[in-house]
Each structure stands twice: as structure tokens, then as C-alpha cells.
């Protein structure tokens, strides 16, 4: 049978710390099992400028109702395998916390993002985004009336060769 993607989310609350998280799925029909493990550290977003985790999406569109994927007025359908066809946009969603407000109660910020081919080199992660290997680079300025701003971008992939890439966003 063809593979199906069933996006889901599980919410739980834990004290601030560093955690090892594992998820396993058992298919009762085929008796197959799959597992995923990752490390998660929780941060305090109360004071310093911070960026949430970046959620790569299948689709970002106006919300038609409430769902586990609703983020305010939009719905962000996750794309957990993060594989995109060359030429299709790579959609990403994240939130910026603790933006400063000026005397008019407005936030002013600049978003820069870069995409570079993934490499196994031991070069520092940030150094790779400042070199000649940058495949996609863009920036934009924005403003708002809140200290927290949701962001979503679509990265054009027409000029990317098939392969693995790293993504860095700077606010």
C-alpha cells in the first residue's frame, strides 16, 4: 500500500531542563515498528530576544477553523520528513519573542535567512553561512505592534540541486 503521512501533535508540560525524547509507532496491521529520538532543551523566552523552533510545513494557509495546527489566524500543516521536490517552495514557520518597542509602541526588525549545502566538514556551523557556499540568501524588514511576532516564509528552490541543505535564520 502507498505510504501515508498522518500529521499529529502531542502536548505536554515539563519543567525547564534538558530532555531525551523518543517516540515509537507500532503498526498493528503490518506488525512494523518505527522509532524517532531527539534531544530537547527548554528555554526561558521571558526576557531576551529569542526565536522558536522552526517548523517546516507542507502548507501554510489561512485557518478555516481550529485544529492542532492553528497558529492564530493561520494553519501550519507540518512536513516532518522535510523533503521537498526541486522547484516547490520550502515553507517555514517560526515565532520571534521579546522584540523591543519604540516610543510609538512599534517593533522594528530585520529577518535574514540563508540556505547552504549540508556538509560533513567540521567547520563551525555559522562560518558555513558566511562563505561562498550560500545557495539561497534573502532578507526583509518588518514592524509590528507586539513584542511577539509570528513569521512564515517560502523559500524558492528552483535553483537548488537535489541534496541536503542547512537553513539559518537571523533576527
Give the predicted TM-score (pTM) of the model: 0.72
Cα dihedral 53, 58, 63, 67 sign: negative
Q: How far apart are the first and last CA of the chain?
A: 44
State residue 61's pLDDT score.
92
Residues β-bridged to residue 109:
142
Q: How far apart are CA 84 and CA 90, in angstroms?
A: 7
Residues of the chain with pLDDT under 70: 1-9, 42-45, 122-125
What is the distance between the alpha carbons of residues 102 and 66, in angstroms, rounded to a whole number?
33
Amino acid at each position: 500500500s502507498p505510504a501515508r503521512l498522518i500529521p499529529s501533535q502531542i502536548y505536554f508540560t515539563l519543567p525547564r531542563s534538558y530532555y531525551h525524547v523518543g517516540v515509537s509507532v507500532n503498526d498493528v496491521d503490518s506488525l512494523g515498528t518505527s522509532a524517532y529520538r531527539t534531544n530537547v532543551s527548554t528555554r526561558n523566552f521571558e526576557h531576551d530576544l529569542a526565536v522558536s523552533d522552526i517548523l517546516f510545513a507542507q502548507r501554510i494557509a489561512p485557518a478555516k477553523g481550529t485544529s492542532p495546527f492553528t497558529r492564530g489566524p493561520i494553519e501550519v500543516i507540518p512536513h516532518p520528513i522535510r523533503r521537498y521536490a526541486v522547484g516547490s517552495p520550502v515553507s517555514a514557520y517560526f515565532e520571534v519573542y521579546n522584540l523591543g518597542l519604540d516610543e510609538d509602541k512599534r517593533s522594528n526588525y530585520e529577518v535574514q535567512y540563508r540556505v547552504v549545502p549540508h556538509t560533513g566538514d567540521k567547520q563551525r556551523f555559522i562560518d558555513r553561512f558566511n562563505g561562498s557556499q550560500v545557495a539561497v540568501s534573502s532578507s526583509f524588514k518588518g514592524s509590528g505592534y507586539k513584542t511577539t511576532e509570528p513569521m512564515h516564509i517560502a523559500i524558492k528552490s528552483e535553483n537548488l540541486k537535489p541534496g541536503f541543505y542547512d537553513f539559518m535564520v537571523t533576527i
